[in-house]
Amino acid sequence: MTRAETRRAPQDFERVLSSMCTDPHPAAREAAERFLATNPGDPETYPTVADLEREAVAMLGDVVALDDPHGYVAAGGTEANLQAVRAARNLADGDVNVVAPESAHFSFQKAADVLDVELRLAPTDDDHRADIDAVVDLADDDTAVVVGVAGTTEYGRVDPIPALADVAADVGARLHVDAAWGGFFLPFTDHDWSFSDAPVDTMTIDPHKVGQAPVPAGGFLARDPETLDALAIATPYLESDTQPTLGGTRSGGGVAGAHAVLSELWPGGYREQYERSQANADYLAAELSARGYDVVDPELPLVAADLPDDEFHALRDEGWRISRTASDALRVVCMPHVTREMLDAFLVDVDAVA
Ligand code: PLP
């Protein structure tokens, strides 16, 4: 790649319909650039970014309605999910297992592999949510953590979190909610649980997805300080005593970007974004349905629809960045950069390739 090419805008979002990341908010870009050379992994040397991280975690606590949250800005949802499993394993005795719906993100497979725990995947129901009876069948006294997903990667579904909390309580397991993608939409929906009233132990909520922060900015939150204690490793050569994070040196840009955009958008800006994105998803679902495609009703702003193979590939050839679920349904993620005009242009091409 030539130097001129590397100076080009690296990403144009005009035809990106599959990504769970988005064009970062201008305030977040600016803050990320200013803090690029800082390392929140070394808080005594870089105290300003360490303060920003504490404030970012407090704001993430506001988003999920958790008073006094404990956590940090992770590299992404994968790290946050792995840390949730790691904390649960470290707090349990002996060989443990993790029970998750099969809709859980593949990061749980990485976590199980790295941490050497058994991952038990429960089938989902006809509406792509965790099947509670199947979760009950798989959970036992060795279950360290039950996982629920609030905004699944493929269908944008929210699992029945209170029922999963009951299953976890019955077997003495912890409850982790993966809201990596859905977390910034949930406060504006009428879901029937929150961190405060359901016994959720840990949660993933990523600023670098719907939060509109630059990558890397994942969010790992815990209700109790004991969770971070269970992750802490002594750091002899640093001035701080221990580190709960998986990464050592981390991006100050990610932390500062998350802090800036949360300060800017929570709550009003995120509410407006949710309303726009959900309206776009409802619109696309209705338009595809009217054209005879089988569409999964979008609970959150993600539309899944059956699209013949040749049409899918023809749309990709037109430059549309679209992807498919494991069962080959088209998925369109209505992220903040996805506008009604983009969807209209997409529909023109859908008609052309039909
Ligand atoms: N959890 C969910 C629900 C996701 O959708 C994703 C990614 O899309 C992840 C976790 C992993 O996040 P990351 O790619 O930031 O590691």
Query: Does the C-beta of 178 come closer than 6 Å to ligand 1?
Result: yes
pLDDT in tens, 27-82: 999 999 999 999 999 999 999 999 999 999 999 999 999 999 999 999 999 999 99
Point out the ligand 1 atom lying closest to the alpha carbon of residue 21.
8
Phi, psi of 53 (to 5 degrees): -65, -45
The DSSP line for 61-88 is HHHTT-SS-EEEEESSHHHHHHHHHHHH
How many Å apart are CA 239 and CA 248, to the nearest integer? 14
The DSSP line for 31-54 is HHHHTTT--TTSTTTSHHHHHHHH
Query: Does the C-beta of 131 come closer than 6 Å to ligand 1?
Result: no
Point out the ligand 1 atom lying closest to the alpha carbon of residue 151.
3
Query: In 10 A of CB 136, how many CB atoms?
Result: 18
Query: Does the C-beta of 77 come closer than 6 Å to ligand 1?
Result: yes
In the reported structure, the alpha carbon of residue 183 is separated from the centroid of ligand 1 by a whole-number distance in angstroms of 11
In the reported structure, the alpha carbon of residue 76 is separated from the centroid of ligand 1 by a whole-number distance in angstroms of 7
Sign for the CA dihedral angle at 44, 47, 50, 55 comes to: positive
Direct distance between the N- and C-terminal alpha carbons of the chain, in angstroms, rounded to an integer: 37
Pocket residue to mutate for ligand 1, from 209, 323, 333, most atoms within 8 A of Cβ: 209
Task: Give domain limits for the chain.
Answer: 3-16+268-353, 26-265
In sequence order, the 6+-apart residues with CB closer than 8 A to the CB of 133 are none
* Contact between residue 269 and residue 278 where contact means Cβ atoms under 8 Å apart: no
Point out the ligand 1 atom lying closest to the alpha carbon of residue 81.
10
Query: Does the C-beta of 153 come closer than 6 Å to ligand 1?
Result: yes
Residue nearest (by alpha carbon) to ligand 1 atom 12 = 77
ipTM of the complex: 0.99
In the reported structure, the alpha carbon of residue 45 is separated from the centroid of ligand 1 by a whole-number distance in angstroms of 31
Query: Does the C-beta of 158 come closer than 6 Å to ligand 1?
Result: no
**CATH topology match: 3-16+268-353 vs 26-265:** no
In the reported structure, the alpha carbon of residue 320 is separated from the centroid of ligand 1 by a whole-number distance in angstroms of 21
Residue nearest (by alpha carbon) to ligand 1 atom 5 = 153
Residue 183 tokens, joined: 């977390």
In the reported structure, the alpha carbon of residue 64 is separated from the centroid of ligand 1 by a whole-number distance in angstroms of 17
The dihedral over CA atoms of 267, 269, 275, 276, expressed in degrees to the nearest 10, equals -160
Domain 26-265 has CATH 3.40.640.10: yes
How many Å apart are CA 189 and CA 153, to the nearest integer? 18
Query: Does the C-beta of 298 come closer than 6 Å to ligand 1?
Result: no
Query: Does the C-beta of 129 come closer than 6 Å to ligand 1?
Result: no
Residue nearest (by alpha carbon) to ligand 1 atom 15 = 76
Q: Kindly give the parts of the chain with pLDDT less than 50.
A: none
Exposed, middle or buried: residue 309 (CB in 10 Å: 0-12, 13-18, 19+)? exposed
Query: Does the C-beta of 181 come closer than 6 Å to ligand 1?
Result: yes
Point out the ligand 1 atom lying closest to the alpha carbon of residue 20.
8
> Which own/partner pairs from 230-235 qualify as long-range (CB within 8 Å, at least 24 positions apart)?
230/86, 230/87, 230/90, 230/91, 231/83, 231/86, 231/87, 231/90
Query: Does the C-beta of 78 come closer than 6 Å to ligand 1?
Result: yes
Domain 3-16+268-353 has CATH 3.40.30.10: no
In one-letter notation, the amino acid at residue 84 is A
Burial 172-181 (b: 16+ CB within 10 A, else e): ebbbbbbbbb
pLDDT number for residue 256: 98
Sign for the CA dihedral angle at 319, 338, 221, 105 comes to: negative
Q: What is the mean pLDDT of the chain?
A: 96
In one-letter notation, the amino acid at residue 179 is A
What are the strands of the beta sheet with 70-74, ordered from one edge?
A: 70-74, 218-222, 202-204, 174-178, 143-149, 97-101, 118-122
* Contact between residue 213 and residue 207 where contact means Cβ atoms under 8 Å apart: yes
Residue at token pair 């709960």: 244
Query: Does the C-beta of 219 come closer than 6 Å to ligand 1?
Result: no
pTM: 0.97
